[in-house]
Structure 1
Amino acid sequence: MAATHSLSSAALSSSSSSFFSHSSFNAKNPKVSFPGTRFRVKCVATSQDSMTAYKTSVPRNANMAKLQAGYLFPEIARRRNAHLQKYPDAKVISLGIGDTTEPIPEVITSAMAKRSHALSTLEGYSGYGAEQGEKPVRALIGKTFYSGLGIEEDDIFVSDGAKCDITRLQLVFGSNVSMAVQDPSYPAYVDSSVILGQTGQYEKDAEKYSNIEYMRCTPENGFFPDLTKIPRTDIIFFCSPNNPTGSSATREQLTQLVQFAKKNGSIIVYDSAYAMYISDDNPRSIFEIPGAKEVAIETSSFSKYAGFTGVRLGWTVVPKELMFSDGFPVAKDFNRIVCTCFNGASNIAQAGGLACLSPEGLEAMRGVIGFYKENTSIIMDTFNSLGFNVYGGKNAPYVWVRFPGRSSWDVFAEILEKTHVVTTPGSGFGPGGEGFIRVSAFGHRENVLEACRRFRQLYK
């Protein structure tokens, strides 16, 4: 008999005034009671006997069978739910998945509401839009993020998010390409490569897939790979500021990367989803580097700037100068994929995007980003005070904490069990993440402060 468990969504309250009052939390006795939320668990039983024995004649995609366990973040959610079943009265704080928590600024939501209400009128109704995005949105993205960089409006494709565009780009590249990825890095790059059939089997001993070049990024090399030791691949996935390490590449490093790609005839897929968090003079866009338009694609998102993780709005830049080996423009194939697989971003979301990029919207987004960066400082100060080696934080909403000689999943389990705080195990981002955990700064301030109190009690 197997049992599956689901939690009432109403039970998951992310904020509580109880955080400002005294709690009886004790790291040595983690089963504590916090005033406020109680969790109700519903159990649903299934049995093998109740399942149909009929099978179709359709074979499973063999590439899907290569994937290991569940995707990282659903696996974390599964473990979190199991913990809630074990401790139904605990106040669990999630600093794991990089989901925003603060309300979308009113200047942005009011624009979306206005567009939404207009759809109920003959004058304001619109149906299918351009698959590439509305021209005013594309133009304003170009003006805001790529001014003076030679990126034109029709180089920009508006989408429902960077993660979706990563898969669309993989469809463009197909299965007969080789790829390299930062190690550690956002798991969608590797998993989409596996699904497309670009990789070999998973090698358990090495904790990596064959036919992928894992570019190790460590504190010792400044979280930038030694390109002199990296063999040529067709595609290079690169994220700056990096998720999970929080490190942003310097102008000199990105110049090396562009020159490396040009020398090898490779294409860089550059993920700049956290660029607005950069507070020093490191590049916000790969296109700040001379020659990048001939070798790079850039994808980005409003998710972590404006709280659009649920609204869904992003963009990808594919310059006209980027060509395949036969001289065919990459942008034309990407446009074909977009037109085939996508009907365009929501017109309501795009109205929000226009508001984001207005002077008032930009100011509001900077305020939200500033709030999360204050959270980051609180978390970094906490772990630094406890004697840990801590990285990231300055240019990204993630803190990368080192636990030498320890399994990342063991540390994740220890923190969850003894503090009721959800983090992310570093090994979930690649073998280079073993011995680290990622702590997200996305959270209500009272939750972050309470989590840090618990960390101090556990590791004092």
Structure 2
Amino acid sequence: MSITQSLSTPLSSSSSTFLAPSTFNPSRSQVTLPVKSLGVCKCIAAPQEADTAYKTKVSRNGNIAKLQAGYLFPEIARRRNAHLLKYPDAKVISLGIGDTTEPIPDAITSAMSKRSHALSTVEGYSGYGAEQGEKPLRSAIASTFYRDLGIEDDDIFVSDGAKCDISRLQIVFGSKIKMAVQDPSYPAYVDSSVIMGQTGYYQKDVEKFANIEYMRCNPENGFFPDLSSISRPDIIFFCSPNNPTGAAATREQLTQLVKFAKDNGSIIIFDSAYAMYISGDNPRSIFEIPGAKEVALEVSSFSKYAGFTGVRLGWTVIPKQLLFSDGFPVAKDFNRIVCTCFNGASNISQAGGLACLSPDGLKAMQDVIGFYKENTNIIVETFDSLGFKVYGGKDAPYVWVHFPGRNSWDVFAEILEKTHVVTTPGSGFGPGGEGFVRVSAFGHRENVLEACRRFKELYK
């Protein structure tokens, strides 16, 4: 396959990609970016020819074989690398994968450094820690994010990130459950459900997996699903502020969601990984809603607050009131999974997390979040000025741009080809994302400004 063909092949769409000659002159760019080799990632589900004639007698996991293509973000990285092969002198700016770019504040890294150096002493050395997390950090998370919400220290499980906990939770709930998910939404929810065996096969005509309830969230319904049209699910994945749309659910909407879960005996997995980006009065935790502790658990992360995407630290909150149909506590089963599959988060990472929640650390995180929110304002104003309908950007570090009537992978390819800027195609988040592109605000300021200049040149 040629590089051009590689760039124009969507994950699950047969439509062609627009690759018109570029009108953008890279030599005009004022930004010099180091090109970091990510390697070519071939994360595809289709069978590959073996290099040898010998084969084992072990059958492939049929659930993984259901997946349609590579996981979204490695696929974007692959296309970025292919673009760099085609344009080796291009100054590529990445506003696609939601990876943080600004340095971790010194108030946080100094604590990790101190803990790291202490490990070289007899007094400071520690080996295996509690699988559930160190008690001081669990207490700090409870008092910082869940004060007066009835969440106790031992309701909190510290982990190596919310994404990892999503998969561990799938193990807890098993293969026999029916899942509902916002459409569009973070692709790990659906992919982990497929791998776990909760779904049927992919239905190409509707671009959905059987046995998943896709809850359409779009501008017409205020990015909150019509719950009256949804058949009963066992598990509801709900992210607020949402990735990718950037929409934060209101108190009234989350009250409806909790009531819906209680009426149907469902459990909500509430992803609050972007809660600190919320500007107004919308809830930052599902546990702000009365009755939520009986029907919900919550996953969150330091990744987008403190730049911990590489450090890896998150947490899950499972209240004691959350019970299975036989009365057994969900937290006890999650604890068993954690003890079996996980030896606890890095003690160095946990030292950093504790520093994040100190007065200096909290201020430093707020400053970094404020910086990224300024980036979102720049991106929103740019697309507004070009006449696009733009959503998000207020309560999340993502801007959701509408390209009506267009295939989102086509738009992704057009932007990459003509401006050398990486975005994320909306359909990668589900069929409800078709016609949209997500632009991430995670970037150095000069790169965001340069990308916006290129957008204006392309779409003026």
Q: Which residue of structure 2 aligns with residue 337 of structure 1?
A: 337
Q: Please tell me whether the aligned partners of residues 238 and 269 of structure 1 are also in contact (alpha carbons under 8 angstroms).
A: yes
Identity of aligned residues (%): 81
SS of residue paired to 1:181: strand
Partner residue, 1:28: 23
TM score, norm. by length of structure 1: 0.92
Distance across 1 between alignment mates of 2:186 and 2:69: 16
Q: In the superposition, relative to structure 1, how do residues 50 and 161 fare at CA in structure 2: closer, same or farther (>3 Å)?
A: closer
Equivalent positions of 1:36-185 (< 5 A) are: 36=32, 51-185=51-185
> Is contact 2:235-2:269 (8 Å) kept?
yes
Q: What is the distance in 2 between the residues matched to 1:212 and 1:49?
A: 31
Distance apart, 1:105 and its partner CA:
0.2
What is the CA-CA distance between 1:51 and the residue it aligns to?
Answer: 1.6
- The 2-side partners of 1:229 and 1:235 are apart by 16
User: Is the alpha carbon distance of 1:118 and 1:457 closer, same or farther for their aligned partners in structure 2, counting shifts above 3 Å?
Assistant: same
Give the whole-Å Cα distance in 1 for the aligned partners of 2:177 and 2:311. Answer: 33
Structure 2 residue 435 is matched with structure 1 residue 430:
no
**Whole-Å separation in 2 of the counterparts to 1:2 and 1:200:** 33
Aligned residue type for 1:401: V
Shift of 1:28: 1.2
Task: Say whether 1:258 aligns with 2:253.
Answer: no
How far apart in 1 are the matches of 2:291 and 2:50? 61
Partners of 1:263 and 1:456 lie apart in 2 by 49
User: Secondary structure at 2:62's aligned position in 1?
Assistant: coil
Post-superposition Cα deviations, 1:116-151, rounded to whole Å, max 9, x if no partner, equal 000000000000000000000000000000000000
Aligned to 1:325, the other structure's residue is in SS state coil
Classify 1:120/1:424 alpha carbon distance in 2 versus 1 (closer, same or farther; 3 Å).
same
Partner of 2:43: none
**Distance in 2 separating the partners of 1:41 and 1:94:** 13
Q: Cα distance 1:363–1:77, how it changes in 2: closer, same or farther (>3 A)? A: same
Aligned to 1:403: 403
SS in 2 for 1:322: coil
Residue correspondence of structure 1 range 236-315 to structure 2 within 5 A: 236-315=236-315
Cα deviation digits, residues 307-348 of structure 1 (max 9, x gap) = 000000000000000000011100000000000000000000
AA matched with 1:427 = S
Gaps of 5+ in 2: 4-20, 41-47
Shift of 1:360: 0.5
Q: CA offsets per residue over residues 375-431 of structure 1, 9 Å max, x none?
A: 000000000000000000000000000000000000000000000000000000000
Hey, what's the Cα distance between the residues in 2 that align with 1:319 and 1:412?
41
Aligned to 2:392: 392
Does the CA-based 8 Å contact 1:411-1:437 persist in structure 2?
Answer: yes
Distance in structure 2 (CA, Å) of the matches to 1:42 and 1:376: 26
Contact 1:27 1:458 in 2 (8 A): no
Partner residue in 1 for 2:208: 208
Cα 1:107/1:418, change in 2 over 3 Å: same
Distance apart, 1:169 and its partner CA: 0.2
Alpha carbons of structure 1 residues 225 and 50: separation in structure 2 relative to 1, 3 Å: closer
Structure 2 residue matching 1:63: 3-state secondary structure: helix
Show the counterpart of 2:443.
443
Q: Distance in 2 between matches of 1:328 and 1:416?
A: 51
The answer to whether the 8 Å contact 1:40/1:88 transfers is no
Q: RMSD between aligned alpha carbons? A: 2.0
Q: In the alignment, is the contact (CA less than 8 A) between 1:142 and 1:153 conserved in 2?
A: yes
For residues 43 and 309 of structure 1, what CA distance do their matches in structure 2 show? 19
- How many angstroms does 1:37 deviate by? 5.7
Distance in 2 (alpha carbons) for counterparts of 1:28 and 1:357: 48
Q: Distance in 1 between matches of 2:380 and 2:304?
A: 19
Query: How many pairs are equivalent?
Result: 435
Q: Matches of 1:378 and 1:149 in 2, distance apart? A: 36
Tell whether the 8 Å contact from 1:31 to 1:87 is kept in structure 2 after alignment. no
AA aligned to 2:188 is: A
Contact 1:421 1:451 in 2 (8 A): yes
Q: How far apart, CA to CA, are the structure 1 residues paired with 2:330 and 2:269?
A: 12
Deviation at 1:282, TM superposition (A): 0.2
Distance across 1 between alignment mates of 2:252 and 2:339:
37
Q: Which residue of 1 aligns with 2:8?
A: none
The residue type paired with residue 449 of structure 2 is: L
1:353 corresponds in structure 2 to: 353
Contact 1:38 / 1:88 at 8 angstroms: preserved in 2?
no
Structure 2 residue aligned with 1:10: none
Tell me the CA shift for residue 52 of structure 1: 1.4
Residue 2 (structure 1) shift: 10
For residues 269-304 of structure 1, the C-alpha deviation after alignment (integer angstroms, 9 at most, x for no partner) is 000000000000000000000000000010000000
Query: Are the counterparts in 2 of residues 237 and 268 from structure 1 also a CA contact under 8 Å?
Result: yes
**Following the alignment from structure 2 to structure 1, what is the Cα–Cα distance between the partners of residues 87 and 52?**
35
The amino acid across from 1:269 in the alignment is: I
Check if 1:327 corresponds to 2:327: yes
- Alignment check: 8 A CA contact 2:388 2:401 kept: yes
Aligned equivalents of 2:49, 2:287: Cα separation in 1: 58
